[in-house]
Chains A and B, each alone.
Chain A
Amino acid sequence: MTAHALDLGLQGTQRLLAARDSSLDEHLRTLGPVPAVALCELISITEQAGLTGRGGAGFPTARKLRAVGEGRRRPVVVGNAMEGEYLSDKDRTLLARSPHLVLDGLELLGRALHAKRLILATGERIDSGPVRSAVRARRAEIDVRDMTGGFLGGQESALVSQLNRRAPVPQDPHTPVYARGVDGRPTLVVNVETLAHLALLARFGPGWFRTQGTPDDPGTFLVTLSGALRPGVQEIARGTRLGALLDGAGADRTRLSGVLLGGYHGTWLPPQAFDVALSSTGLAAYGARTGAGIVHALDSTRCPLRVSADIVTYLARQTSGQCGPCINGMPRMADTLQRLARPGADPRLVAEVARLRGLITGRGACAHPDGSARFAMSALTAFSGHVDEHLGGECHATPAD
């Protein structure tokens, strides 16, 4: 661990997106090669740094490392750049601007785990050209695979199944991928942003990692801004206030009905919540998480219930078609929300959403029904005033586009 992070201008929040260009020369000139770190030490520094996954689930990375490391066979490490989350652009951006950080992370894990294979899986919306060039430039033994898949494409077991040349659908979680995954080996699936954080963590240590963020939610993370503000991907510290982020992106808070945080499995935040700190504890009070880093600002001229209903309709079409409660419950949920999105809605529809939430949560093989139900409920909570308008037969936002 060196201390020249400060000299390299890595004292601010720009860590993953700090590089002036994406070439290998620039990368090696500023950061040098990624050090080799033994597994136990890697687990230790990851734990001390408090690094959590940046793919959406926010799982502590050290725990994943430990689980895969305990397997008896040489594991496979998969970098997840599927970017299945519709509003997300961070994985594509990261691969375009700092591919070598991502590849460093893969090689770091590969060496520590004595991995049999290293794979980088890119989704339909990502052009793998730049990262393939980067792999060639450093002569890495990394298999870049262009994969297909919609919203659930980046789901861990669905990705592993596709890599095994089987159906790209989630598998029974009772056999987790860290036990048996690609080629039947213990498999570690890591989001590319997490890989990039690991690459810097291995060089500069947990102390440096914790100079940004909050004590219980340290570091930086990538957000994708969209909607009624200046769109784009930014790197910010954990714990940044949502309001500051919105203001910095030129949003007019008075003209927003809410902000969707996390993604389509995330949570709507009403204006009164805009000063929340984007950290796990700050958001816990609203039952929210940063998820895949989506920050979508909804203009008040759009009906938030119509927007939410359309999102759930999309989610219902994205089910993998395997689990009965999800295949049956999701279209019902979508239909219920669509009806609530029309003025003059039946008041019993609100209870119906809650009933369906109870019926589909925890009864599928993956978190799709759970996340979708959480999203639907958050719409009714955050926009409860709007729900009352609709029940009363009115809608003060501009009707459906």
Chain B
Amino acid sequence: MNEALWALGRGTGVVALVMFTVALVLGILTRSGRPMLGLGRFGVAEVHRTAALTGTGLVAVHLVSLFLDPYAQLKVVDFVVPFIGSYRPFWLGLGTLAVDLLVVITVVSLLRERVGPRVFKAVHWATYALWPIALAHALGNGSDNGSAWLQSLALVCAVAVCSALAWRLTGSYAERGRTRVPRTVPR
């Protein structure tokens, strides 16, 4: 049973990381205002959202299964306050930090109409912090650390994000960037 919980914990953690990678990459791509990957503009935005929510759900299962697993030795406070855990406190702490960020980002995103576009956008920028913290946590904390497959997976995720970011910074990124005069008023 404990083995199953541990496996569930690790498994959901890894898949959540993949989901967040997909969400981040698509989040970067959707800003370009282009239809892509066979999806329309709406499709890109929707898959971004679905991946993010799926990842969040998986993180919830990840937390519950690890909490119930005695091998992980997690107390409730470890889910909220980072860096005070007993097993690998630093790497675990990164995970806690990631969860803290995730909760804020998710709540604000779900309530975006109430908080308004400025607050929504500001908080959403935190996803650029969330992802590398989650990645570092996965590499440093899991008992698979050092295992080749996790490192390869992490590399693939990193390459995807870096490529998207690189494209983001080029001039031809925005679909209508060249034909259009940009807004000048800070929103």
Instruction: Tell me if B185 and A167 are in contact (CB < 8 A).
Output: yes
Instruction: Tell me if B185 and A328 are in contact (CB < 8 A).
Output: no
**Mask for B174-187, Cβ within 8 A of A = 1, else 0?**
00000011111110
Instruction: Tell me if B184 and A327 are in contact (CB < 8 A).
Output: yes
| CB contact list, A154-183 vs B, under 8 A | 167, 169
Instruction: Tell me if A169 and B180 are in contact (CB < 8 A).
Output: no
Main secondary structure of the interface of B (DSSP, over half): loop
Please measure, in the bound complex, the distance between the C-alpha atom of A331 and the C-alpha atom of B179, giving whole angstroms.
13
Instruction: Tell me if B183 and A324 are in contact (CB < 8 A).
Output: yes
Chain B CB within 8 A of A321 CB? yes
Instruction: Tell me if B181 and A167 are in contact (CB < 8 A).
Output: no
Q: Which residue of B lies closest to A331 (CB)?
A: B181
Instruction: Tell me if A322 and B180 are in contact (CB < 8 A).
Output: no
Q: Which residue of B lies closest to A330 (CB)?
A: B181
- Shortest C-beta distance, A47 to chain B (Å), equals 38
Pick from B181, B183, B184 the residue with the most CB of A within 10 Å: B181
- Shortest C-beta distance, B177 to chain A (Å), equals 12
| CB contact list, A300-346 vs B, under 8 A | 320-322, 324, 327-328, 331
Instruction: Tell me if B185 and A322 are in contact (CB < 8 A).
Output: yes
- Shortest C-beta distance, A171 to chain B (Å), equals 11
- Shortest C-beta distance, A324 to chain B (Å), equals 7
**Among the listed A167, A327, A328, A331, which residue makes an inter-chain contact with B186, where contact means beta carbons less than 8 Å apart?**
A167
Interface size on A, residues (CB 8 A): 9
- Shortest C-beta distance, A81 to chain B (Å), equals 25
Specify which chain B residues have a CB less than 8 angstroms from the CB of A320 in the assembled complex: 185
Specify which chain B residues have a CB less than 8 angstroms from the CB of A324 in the assembled complex: 180, 183
Please measure, in the bound complex, the distance between the C-alpha atom of A322 and the C-alpha atom of B117, giving whole angstroms.
14
Q: Which residue of A lies closest to B186 (CB)?
A: A167
- Shortest C-beta distance, A363 to chain B (Å), equals 14
Specify which chain B residues have a CB less than 8 angstroms from the CB of A169 in the assembled complex: 185
Instruction: Tell me if A321 and B183 are in contact (CB < 8 A).
Output: yes
Specify which chain A residues have a CB less than 8 angstroms from the CB of B181 in the assembled complex: 327-328, 331
Instruction: Tell me if B185 and A321 are in contact (CB < 8 A).
Output: yes
Please measure, in the bound complex, the distance between the C-alpha atom of A321 and the C-alpha atom of B182, giving whole angstroms.
8
Please measure, in the bound complex, the distance between the C-alpha atom of A320 and the C-alpha atom of B184, giving whole angstroms.
8
Specify which chain A residues have a CB less than 8 angstroms from the CB of B180 in the assembled complex: 324, 328
| CB contact list, B152-187 vs A, under 8 A | 180-186
Please measure, in the bound complex, the distance between the C-alpha atom of A321 and the C-alpha atom of B183, giving whole angstroms.
5
Please measure, in the bound complex, the distance between the C-alpha atom of A228 and the C-alpha atom of B183, giving whole angstroms.
39
Please measure, in the bound complex, the distance between the C-alpha atom of A141 and the C-alpha atom of B137, giving whole angstroms.
62
| CB contact list, A127-144 vs B, under 8 A | none
Please measure, in the bound complex, the distance between the C-alpha atom of A160 and the C-alpha atom of B181, giving whole angstroms.
27
Please measure, in the bound complex, the distance between the C-alpha atom of A185 and the C-alpha atom of B184, giving whole angstroms.
28
Specify which chain A residues have a CB less than 8 angstroms from the CB of B183 in the assembled complex: 321-322, 324, 327
Specify which chain B residues have a CB less than 8 angstroms from the CB of A328 in the assembled complex: 180-181
Specify which chain A residues have a CB less than 8 angstroms from the CB of B185 in the assembled complex: 167, 169, 320-322
- Shortest C-beta distance, B41 to chain A (Å), equals 16
- Shortest C-beta distance, B89 to chain A (Å), equals 45
- Shortest C-beta distance, B90 to chain A (Å), equals 43
Please measure, in the bound complex, the distance between the C-alpha atom of A328 and the C-alpha atom of B182, giving whole angstroms.
8
Q: List 14 A-B contacts (CB under 8 A).
A: A167-B185, A167-B186, A169-B185, A320-B185, A321-B183, A321-B185, A322-B185, A327-B181, A327-B182, A327-B183, A327-B184, A328-B180, A328-B181, A331-B181
> Given A321-B185, A327-B181, A328-B180, 10 more contacts at CB 8 Å?
A167-B186, A169-B185, A320-B185, A321-B183, A322-B183, A324-B180, A324-B183, A327-B182, A327-B183, A328-B181
Task: Give the 8 A-B CB pairs with smallest separation, nearest first.
Answer: A321-B184, A321-B185, A322-B185, A327-B181, A328-B181, A169-B185, A321-B183, A328-B180
